[in-house]
Chain A
Amino acid sequence: MPQSAVLKVKDGNLPNAIKDFLKGLLEKNLVEALLVPVELPSGNNVMLTLVTKVEKLEDARPLAPVMPVNAAKIVSTLTKLAPSEKKIGVILRSCELRALTELVKLKQADLTNLILIGIDCLGTCSVATYGMFCRENASPAEEFLKRVADGDDSLLREACRICEYPAPINSEASDITIGLIGMDWKEGILLQAASPEGELIIDALELGAEGDPSQREAALAALTEERIRQRDLLLQQTEQELKGQDNMLQLLAPCVACHNCRIACPICYCKECLLDSPTMVEFEAEKYVSWAEQKGALRMPADSLLFHLVRLNHMATSCVGCGLCEDACPNGIALMKPFRLVGLRVQRLFDYLPGRSLDDELPLTAYREEEFGELGYK
C-alpha cells in the first residue's frame, strides 16, 4: 500500500485539485458523507456543511482561511449520542483535530466510522476580514495562502499568528494528511496516509507517484520555529500586561456576560454551565445589595472575573489555542492570550499537550504516584 502520494495540481488551480480529491472520496464510495467548509450564497463566508452528493462539492472551500466554528464541535454534535454508522469524512485543521482528540477523551465525540483528513493550515482571519478579502480577490484562498507564505501575517488572527502547530500533530487519530506547507502549489501537494484507511484511500484514488515529505518537513520546521518565537514574545508581554487582579479586571471590564466565549469554545462541553445555573445567577436583590455594600458599588452583570477564571481553570489543560473565544466576544476582549499563557504553563506542569494523543490521560483526573516531587509530595 502507498504511504503517500503527490496530488497533482491541474492548470495551477490548487482549490480545484483538493476539490477533485474530495469528489473522488464520494464517487468511489470511500466515504458516504463529507464534512467540509462550503461557500455561503453571499459569497463572503463559509460554513461547515455535511455533503452527500458530489455536485454539492462544487461550492466546497476546504482552503478558505476562516474558521467560523471549530469543526471538533460539529463532530461532537454528529457523534455524541451514538457512534456514526455511516462513513463520514471530516476535514480538520490542526487545532480542530487537537480539540477533537480532547473531546474524544472527554467522551463527547466518537471516532468510529470517521475518516479524519487533516490539512495544513497557515492561519485564518476573522469572518469579517474574510468577507472583505472575498470582495477584493477573485481567488481569495490562494491569494491568502500566497501572502502568508511570503511572510505577511497581518491578515491572521492573533491566535494563528502564534500557532506553533500549522500541521496536524495527532497522526494517530487522523487517517490522512493534506500537506501544503513547503509544496509548490502550482504543481502538486502531498497526501500522507496515517492509517490503513488512509492508505486505502490513496490506493483507491490511483494517484500514482509516492510523495517526498522532506521538503514539507523542512519548511514546517522553519515555520514552527518562527511561530514559537512569536508566541513566546507575545505571551511574555501578556504576562506583564495581565499581572494582578486589577489588570485582569481591566481586561474583562467590557464583558456583558453573554457567555458567547463559552459557546464558541470547542472544549467547553457542559450541557448546562455551572456559571449559567441557578447556583450562580439566581439571587435576591438584597444579596446583590449586600455585595454592593462591601465595596460601595457593584458592577453589573456581576461575577465577570469569577466566570472567566472558572472557565480558564476548567479549560487550562485541554485548551488548544484556537482563539475562537476571542472571535466570539462582541466587545473584543482579548481572551486568547490569557488562555494560551495559563494553558501552556499548566500543560507543561503535567507534560501534557492537548490533542497530542488519545492515549495521554487527562492530567487532572489521572493519578500518578510520582509527580510534583518538587512540591515535597514524594
Chain B
Amino acid sequence: MSSGNGTKRIGIFVCHCGLNIAGVVDMEKVVTEIRKYPGVVYAADYQYMCSDPGQNLMREAISEHRLDAIVNANCSPSLHEKTFRNVAASEGLNPYNLEIANIREHCSWPHANDPEMATRKAIAIIKATIDRLKLNAALEPAVIPLKKRALVIGGGIAGMQSALTIANTGYEVVLVESSPWLGGHVSQLSSTFPTLDHPACLIEPMMAEVASHPRITLYAYAEIEEVSGYVGNFVVRIRKKASFVDTAKCDNCGLCFDPCPVSVPSEFERGLATRKAIHIPFAQAVPQRPVIDNESCIHLIRVKSQGKGDSRLQTPDSRLLDGSECRACKEACPAGAIDYSQQDRLVEEEVGAVIVATGHDLISRDVLGEYLSDPDIIDGLQFERLLCPTGPTRGAVKRPSDGKIAKEVVWISCAGSRDTERGVPYCSRVCCLYVAKQTLLYKRAVPDGQAYVFYMDIRSDVMGTEEFVQGMVEKSRTMYLRGQASKIFRDGEKIKVWATDTLTGKDIEIAADMVVLALAMVPSTTARVLARKLNIICDQHGFMTEAHLKLRPVDTLTSGIYLAGTAQWPKDIPDTLASASGAASRILSLFSRAVLLHEPAIAFVNERVCVGCEQCVSVCAYKATTLDPDKKVARVNEAVCEGCGACVVACPSKAMKHKNWTPRQFFDMVDVFAQEYVGEG
C-alpha cells in the first residue's frame, strides 16, 4: 500500500496572524523548512491570510502552481477552515483537499516564552498535516431532503412569537402546548416592567392570531410523546389529551361551570381562587373551550378507578358525592358537548425543525425552610394575580387569610436565587425589576400602605430599567433594606419579619400584613424528560443548553432543534422575544434552502470488518449509529452524524472510520512527531 498520493501538488500558506504567530514563530525558517518537505511544490507566508489580499495570494498561487492540495497554517480550524476551503473551492479544488495546521492555539500561544521550540513545533505540525492531507479523499456533501414545516413546543409568549414569525413567512407550523390554553406565564401577569403595559395587550393579539392562523396547527392540551428522525426529517408523536368536551359541539355558553360540584384550587390564580373540574382559566383564554380535569372530576375519577378504591370525594360544602352519579355538566350542557368517554389520541406530524419554548416554573417553597407555610406569605406570581383587575380580588391587595387590605407588605428578593445552599446559584434576572414594579403598583392600589424590600443587590441592567427603579423608589417611598430576612413567623394578625440591614448594621423587625417572596425561576418540571426525547442537553439545573453561548446562542447541539425563551435560562420578556425571533430566523434560514447539505467528513463503516458489537451505538451522542438487524453490522446515518469520532474510538477493530481521519492518517501524523522528538523522553 502506498503511504501517500504522490501525485498531489501541495501548497502551504503560513499566516503570521499579525504578531500572534509571527511574534513567536520564525516565519522565514518555517517556510524554508516546509518548502523542502516531500510533496510540497509551493510555500508562502503572509501577514493576514484571511484578509482579502491574503485570500487573493492563495487564489493566484493555486492557479499558477496548479496546486491540488493545500495546508493553511494559522489559527484554529473552528475559525477560518471554512474561509480557506471556500477559497480552494473557488479555484476548482475539492474543499476537503485543504486542511488547517493550527500553529496559533496549539503552538505560538502556549509556547510564547520559547520561540525556538515553538518554531520547531510549528514545522512538525505542518509536516504532520501534510502527511495527513496526502491521504485525504475528495468529499462531497450528503444531500438530505428537507421538510419545510416547523414544530414549536410551548404556547407561551416565546412559542407564539416563534410560531407566528415562521408561519407569517409562509411555512406551516405545528404548535404544541401542554396546558389547555395559550399564553403561559405572561397571561398571569398584571403588568410588565418598565413600561407598565398590560400583558393582555402583548399576548391577546398573538393568541388570537395563532388560533386562527391558516398555517398554524395548534395542539393545546397535548404533549410530545416521542421524537424520531433528524434535521429536515423529524417525526413527532403527539399525545392529545382528552378534554371530555367535544369542541365541535361546544359553543362556550358557560352553563356547565356552575352546576359542577367540585371546587379545587385554580392553577391560573395560583391557588388564590378555586375553579371547577370543568373550567376555563380566564375570560380571554384561547382556545375558548372548557376542559374537564380528570384528576378532580368525580365522574371521571370513578370511571378511572372502575369501582376500585374510594371514588367519593369531599366537596367544599362537605357533601359526599358518589362520582358515578354526577353528570352535572352533561345535564347542564344544551349542546350535548360533554363526552365522558373521550380518550387521549396520538397523532403524528412530520417536521423539518423544532423550537423548544417550554418556559419555566418557580422554585418550590418547600426547599426554602425559613419561609413557613402561611396563607399571607405568597410568591411574586400570586401577587401579580392580586394586582390584576381580572384577578381573584379584582385588583385589591387583600390578604389571602382574611381578605383585609394589606397595609404593610414585605418583599423578599432572591428567595432561592443566588442561594447555593438551599436554592439555585444563578440570578433569576427578572425579580429585582418586577419587585420594583409590584411595590409601585401596590402603592397605587393602597396609597396609605408601606412597602419594604429586602434585597442583596439591585440588578437593573436592561435599557430603561435603572431609571425605572430609581423613579419608582422616589414615587412609592418604598423602604429598600439591604439584607436577607433571618426569620419570618406569624404573630397573631401579623407576620413578623426579622432581618439585619447590612448597610446600617441595625436589626430590624417589621410587623407585616403580607410577605411576597420573589421565588427563583427554575426550568419547568418536564424539561429533562422532553430533552431526553429530543436528544438535547440540559445543564445541571435542567435548563436546556445552547450549542455555543456566544456564536450559536439559540441552537442546540442537535441540528434542527432550537431554543426560545426561559427554557434556556431566566429571561425577561424582551430577551424571551429576542431569542424566540432568533430561533425562528434560524429555522427560516434553514428553510431557505432547497435541500440540506450535510458535512461529509463523518464516520463510515467497513462492513467486512464490523462485528456488530454495538459499542459505537452506545457511545453516539447523536443517535447516528444503529445496528443493521439483518446484516448485524453498524450503520451511520449521514444526516445525523456530526463527525465527532466517538464511535471510531470505541470500535476496537476500526471497522468504524472517520472520513479523512483514518487510522493510517493518525499513524502517519504520529510518525512525523515521533521522528521530530525521538530520544527526547
Expressed in whole angstroms, the Cα–Cα distance for A272 and B679 within the complex equals 33
Q: Is the CB of B652 within 8 A of A362?
A: no
Q: Which of B609, B650, B662 contacts A272 (CB 8 A)?
A: B609
Nearest B residue (CB) for A294: B678
Selecting from A29-37, A197-205, A277-285, A321-329, the interface stretch reads: A277-285
Q: Is the CB of A365 within 8 A of B615?
A: yes
Q: Is the CB of B654 within 8 A of A294?
A: no
Expressed in whole angstroms, the Cα–Cα distance for A328 and B73 within the complex equals 49
Interface of B is mostly: loop
Q: Is the CB of A279 within 8 A of B662?
A: yes
Binary contact track A345-361/B, C-beta < 8 Å → 1, others 0? 00000000000000001
Is A271 an interface position by the 8 A CB rule? yes
Is B663 an interface position by the 8 A CB rule? yes
Q: Which of B614, B619, B653 contacts A270 (CB 8 A)?
A: B653
A-B contact pairs, 27 of them (CB 8 A): A106-B614, A106-B615, A107-B612, A107-B613, A108-B613, A269-B652, A270-B652, A271-B610, A271-B611, A272-B608, A272-B609, A272-B653, A272-B655, A273-B653, A274-B652, A274-B654, A274-B663, A279-B667, A280-B663, A283-B3, A284-B2, A291-B671, A294-B679, A314-B652, A364-B615, A365-B650, A366-B618
Q: Which residues of chain A come closer than 8 Å to B664, judged between CB atoms? A: 279
Is A287 an interface position by the 8 A CB rule? yes
Q: Is the CB of A271 within 8 A of B3?
A: no
Is A295 an interface position by the 8 A CB rule? yes
Nearest B residue (CB) for A105: B613
With contact pairs A290-B675, A365-B618 given, residues A108 and B652 touching in the complex (Cβ less than 8 Å): no
Q: Which residues of chain A come closer than 8 Å to B678, judged between CB atoms? A: 294-295
Q: Which residues of chain B come closer than 8 Å to A365, judged between CB atoms? A: 615, 618-619, 650
Expressed in whole angstroms, the Cα–Cα distance for A314 and B649 within the complex equals 11
Expressed in whole angstroms, the Cα–Cα distance for A149 and B523 within the complex equals 63
Binary contact track B646-680/A, C-beta < 8 Å → 1, others 0? 00001011110000001110010001001100110
Within 8 A of B (CB), among A233-291: 269-274, 277-280, 282-284, 287, 290-291
Within 8 A of B (CB), among A303-361: 314, 361
Expressed in whole angstroms, the Cα–Cα distance for A277 and B654 within the complex equals 10
Expressed in whole angstroms, the Cα–Cα distance for A366 and B3 within the complex equals 36
Q: Which residues of chain B come closer than 8 Å to A362, judged between CB atoms? A: 615, 618
How far in angstroms is the closest Cβ of chain A from B629? Answer: 12
Binary contact track A89-106/B, C-beta < 8 Å → 1, others 0? 000000000000000001
A-B contact sample (5 more), CB < 8 A, given A272-B608, A365-B650: A107-B611, A273-B653, A277-B654, A280-B663, A284-B3
Q: Which of A107, A271, A291, A361 contacts B609 (CB 8 A)?
A: A271
Expressed in whole angstroms, the Cα–Cα distance for A274 and B611 within the complex equals 12
Q: Which residues of chain B come closer than 8 Å to A269, judged between CB atoms? A: 611, 613, 652
Q: Is the CB of A282 within 8 A of B652?
A: no
* Interface residues of A, count at CB 8 A: 28
Nearest A residue (CB) for B654: A274
Q: Which residues of chain B come closer than 8 Å to A274, judged between CB atoms? A: 652-654, 663
Q: Which residues of chain A come closer than 8 Å to B615, judged between CB atoms? A: 106, 362, 364-365
Expressed in whole angstroms, the Cα–Cα distance for A314 and B652 within the complex equals 7
Q: Is the CB of B1 within 8 A of A278?
A: yes
How far in angstroms is the closest Cβ of chain A from B347? Answer: 33
Expressed in whole angstroms, the Cα–Cα distance for A234 and B103 within the complex equals 48
Nearest A residue (CB) for B657: A279
Expressed in whole angstroms, the Cα–Cα distance for A328 and B662 within the complex equals 32
* Interface residues of B, count at CB 8 A: 29
Q: Which residues of chain B come closer than 8 Å to A278, judged between CB atoms? A: 1
How far in angstroms is the closest Cβ of chain A from B314? Answer: 43
How far in angstroms is the closest Cβ of chain B from A367? Answer: 8
How far in angstroms is the closest Cβ of chain B from A27? Answer: 36
How far in angstroms is the closest Cβ of chain A from B284? Answer: 43
Q: Which residues of chain A come closer than 8 Å to B608, judged between CB atoms? A: 271-272
Nearest A residue (CB) for B675: A294
Nearest B residue (CB) for A369: B540
Binary contact track B599-612/A, C-beta < 8 Å → 1, others 0? 00000000011111
Expressed in whole angstroms, the Cα–Cα distance for A278 and B610 within the complex equals 15
Q: Which residues of chain A come closer than 8 Å to B652, judged between CB atoms? A: 269-270, 274, 314
Nearest B residue (CB) for A269: B611
Q: Which residues of chain B come closer than 8 Å to A272, judged between CB atoms? A: 608-609, 653, 655
Q: Which residues of chain A come closer than 8 Å to B650, judged between CB atoms? A: 364-365
List the 6 closest pairs (A to B, CB-CB), nearest first.
A270-B653, A365-B618, A282-B1, A106-B613, A294-B678, A272-B609
Q: Is the CB of B1 within 8 A of A108?
A: no
Q: Which residues of chain B come closer than 8 Å to A107, judged between CB atoms? A: 611-614, 627, 632
Q: Which residues of chain B come closer than 8 Å to A295, judged between CB atoms? A: 678-679
Nearest A residue (CB) for B627: A107
Q: Which residues of chain B come closer than 8 Å to A364, judged between CB atoms? A: 615, 650
Binary contact track A64-99/B, C-beta < 8 Å → 1, others 0? 000000000000000000000000000000000000
Q: Is the CB of A279 within 8 A of B618?
A: no
Q: Which residues of chain B come closer than 8 Å to A291, judged between CB atoms? A: 671
How far in angstroms is the closest Cβ of chain B from A245? Answer: 10
How far in angstroms is the closest Cβ of chain A from B616? Answer: 8
How far in angstroms is the closest Cβ of chain A from B604? Answer: 15
How far in angstroms is the closest Cβ of chain B from A259? Answer: 13
Q: Which residues of chain B come closer than 8 Å to A106, judged between CB atoms? A: 613-615
How far in angstroms is the closest Cβ of chain B from A274? Answer: 5
Q: Which residues of chain B come closer than 8 Å to A273, judged between CB atoms? A: 653
Nearest B residue (CB) for A290: B675
Q: Which residues of chain B come closer than 8 Å to A108, judged between CB atoms? A: 611, 613
Q: Which of A108, A271, A314 has the most CB of B within 10 A?
A: A271
Nearest A residue (CB) for B1: A282
Expressed in whole angstroms, the Cα–Cα distance for A332 and B654 within the complex equals 29
Nearest A residue (CB) for B619: A365
Expressed in whole angstroms, the Cα–Cα distance for A364 and B616 within the complex equals 11
Expressed in whole angstroms, the Cα–Cα distance for A277 and B613 within the complex equals 19
How far in angstroms is the closest Cβ of chain A from B681? Answer: 10
Q: Which residues of chain B come closer than 8 Å to A367, judged between CB atoms? A: 619
Q: Which residues of chain A come closer than 8 Å to B675, judged between CB atoms? A: 290, 294
Q: Which residues of chain A come closer than 8 Å to B667, judged between CB atoms? A: 279-280
Q: Is the CB of A279 within 8 A of B654?
A: yes
Within 8 A of A (CB), among B625-640: 627, 632
How far in angstroms is the closest Cβ of chain B from A242? Answer: 19
Q: Which residues of chain B come closer than 8 Å to A314, judged between CB atoms? A: 652
How far in angstroms is the closest Cβ of chain B from A72? Answer: 15
Within 8 A of A (CB), among B347-388: none
How far in angstroms is the closest Cβ of chain B from A343? Answer: 15
Binary contact track A196-230/B, C-beta < 8 Å → 1, others 0? 00000000000000000000000000000000000
Q: Which residues of chain A come closer than 8 Å to B613, judged between CB atoms? A: 106-108, 269
Q: Is the CB of A279 within 8 A of B663?
A: yes
Expressed in whole angstroms, the Cα–Cα distance for A283 and B619 within the complex equals 32
Expressed in whole angstroms, the Cα–Cα distance for A278 and B3 within the complex equals 11
Nearest B residue (CB) for A81: B632
How far in angstroms is the closest Cβ of chain A from B257? Answer: 47
Expressed in whole angstroms, the Cα–Cα distance for A283 and B1 within the complex equals 7
Q: Which residues of chain A come closer than 8 Å to B632, judged between CB atoms? A: 107
Expressed in whole angstroms, the Cα–Cα distance for A280 and B653 within the complex equals 11
Q: Which residues of chain A come closer than 8 Å to B662, judged between CB atoms? A: 279
Expressed in whole angstroms, the Cα–Cα distance for A367 and B615 within the complex equals 12
Nearest A residue (CB) for B649: A364
Expressed in whole angstroms, the Cα–Cα distance for A271 and B632 within the complex equals 13
Expressed in whole angstroms, the Cα–Cα distance for A273 and B611 within the complex equals 11
Expressed in whole angstroms, the Cα–Cα distance for A366 and B619 within the complex equals 7
Q: Is the CB of A271 within 8 A of B653?
A: yes
Expressed in whole angstroms, the Cα–Cα distance for A269 and B608 within the complex equals 14
Expressed in whole angstroms, the Cα–Cα distance for A263 and B240 within the complex equals 56
How far in angstroms is the closest Cβ of chain B from A289? Answer: 12
Within 8 A of A (CB), among B393-430: none
How far in angstroms is the closest Cβ of chain B from A257? Answer: 17
Expressed in whole angstroms, the Cα–Cα distance for A269 and B611 within the complex equals 8
Expressed in whole angstroms, the Cα–Cα distance for A365 and B2 within the complex equals 34
Expressed in whole angstroms, the Cα–Cα distance for A358 and B92 within the complex equals 55
How far in angstroms is the closest Cβ of chain A from B255? Answer: 53
Expressed in whole angstroms, the Cα–Cα distance for A45 and B65 within the complex equals 71
